Amino acid sequence: MSNRREFFVQLSVGAGVVFASAGAMANGPMVAESDAQAGALGYKADASKVDKTKFPKYAAGQNCAGCALYQGKASDAAGGCPLFAGKQVAGKGWCSAWAKKA
């Protein structure tokens, strides 16, 4: 019985470590506008600062939180994006890969 109890304790501790590390990955560093990938996609942390002549596809109201690629909740200040692996984007940000969330 002691071995069984010890097994479940270790199992719960191990599961906690796995979930904690998954949460840490989701809360990675913010992507910098100077990042090469960010520059290629015209990423801006504040969508209101998008160069509308360079990116005519941009429309007022578009932001990362409303993008199909955004991995956070719409109310989150930042969230993951598969275009910037291991980094977060600002919920109020925008890039040229923006696609309306269904």
pLDDT, one tens digit per residue, over 36-83 is: 999 999 999 999 999 999 999 999 999 999 999 999 999 999 999 999
- Supply 85's token pair: 């692996």
Residue 100 is classified by DSSP as B
- Per the rule left: phi > 0, alpha: psi between -120 and 50, beta: everything else, 89 is beta
pLDDT tens digits for range 17-40: 334 334 444 579 999 999 999 999
Domains of the chain as residue ranges with CATH? 29-90 (4.10.490.10)
Which SS3 state, helix, strand or coil, does residue 80 take?
A: strand
Closest CA to 93 of 55, 57, 42: 42
